[in-house]
Amino acid sequence: MIELDRAGRTFKVKRATVHAVQDLSFSIAPGEFVGYLGPNGAGKSTTIKMLCGILTPSSGTVRVAGLDPSRRRTTLARRIGVVFGQRTTLWWDLPLRDSFDLIRLLYKVDRKVFDARLAELAETLDLGAFLRTPVRQLSLGQRMRGDLTAALLHDPDVLVLDEPTIGLDVVSKASIRAFLARLNAERGTTVLLTTHDLGDIERLCRRVMLIDHGRLAFDGTLEELMASAPGHATIEEVVTHLYTSER
């Protein structure tokens, strides 16, 4: 579903060349739920932006759902859902429900399919109380549930989440985690999740990838991740160990 082959992206910053991501190769099969970890500035967001076609790779190849994202961006957009935890993709001044209607038209989703899908998402994410509220008046937790719905209305094969639980309280976090687990299990949606919240990883991801300094530093199951650093009991300790020892 997602394939990277020696993908790299460089940025020129004041005449110096920075390798945000280099020689990155991995592949994710349909239906996988993968956690993507790494310290700040390691290249997580750069990777995600290459997957959606926002950034064109400087070297190597990227394939998502069989497409080259930067060349077939608008075609891919119908098959991928993207959530940025740091910023909304909704229309600030419109009621949530109007944003969804607009998404239906932009993604050309059949009205019956859309109505059924929205009803289902509204129920599982408990949107009913604020569907008529303008997005700017929503709380962070409500907005995130709105953003998740917006990313899923066109029933994408792949869902890419960039820090979806950032800044959320424990209750909101729990409801979003439960929702994602169900989505992956019941619909078989492939999910790639970046997060700094290791609870997300423990609760959701069978497979973990760790990126550091733009390179893949670990790729394996959660158990293998724990075993990779003997003497460290919790995931926090293991990840801290990996983040600091890789440097």
Among 6, 11, 30, 116, binds other proteins (CB under 8 A): 11
Where do runs of H (alpha helix) occur along the chain?
44-52, 73-77, 96-106, 111-124, 140-152, 170-182, 198-204, 222-227, 235-245
Smallest separation, CB 23 to other proteins (Å): 20
Angle between helix axes 140-152 and 170-182 (nearest 10 degrees) is 10
When the beta carbons of 52 and 205 are compared against other proteins, the nearer one is 52
Instruction: Identify which of residues 151 and 225 has a Cβ nearer to other proteins in the complex.
Output: 151
Counting contacts by CB under 8 A, is residue 110 touching other proteins? no
Give Cα 188 distance to the centre of its chain.
15
Q: Which of 28, 33, 65, 84 binds other proteins (CB under 8 A)?
A: 84
**Smallest distance from other proteins to CB 176, Å:** 19
Query: How far apart are CB 5 and other proteins at their closest, in Å?
Result: 20
Give me the half-sphere count of Cα atoms (radius 13 Å) on the Cβ side of residue 176: 29
Helix 140-152 vs helix 96-106: angle between axes, to the nearest 10 degrees? Answer: 20
Among 105, 113, 178, 227, binds other proteins (CB under 8 A): 105
Which parts of 118-147 interact with other proteins (CB under 8 A)?
A: 134
Is residue 93 within the footprint of other proteins (CB under 8 A)? yes
Q: Which stretch in 21-29, 69-77, 111-119, 217-225 sits in contact with other proteins by CB under 8 A?
A: 69-77
**Cβ-count burial 140-153 (b if 16+ within 10 Å, e if not):** ebbbbbbbbbbbbb
Q: For 196, phi and psi rounded to 5 degrees? A: -105, 0
Cα 67 from Cα 211, distance rounded (Å): 24
Contact between 53 and other proteins by CB under 8 A: the answer reads yes
Given the rule CB under 8 A, which residues bind other proteins? 11, 45, 49, 52-56, 70, 73-75, 77-78, 80, 82, 84, 86-87, 89, 91-94, 98, 102, 105-108, 134
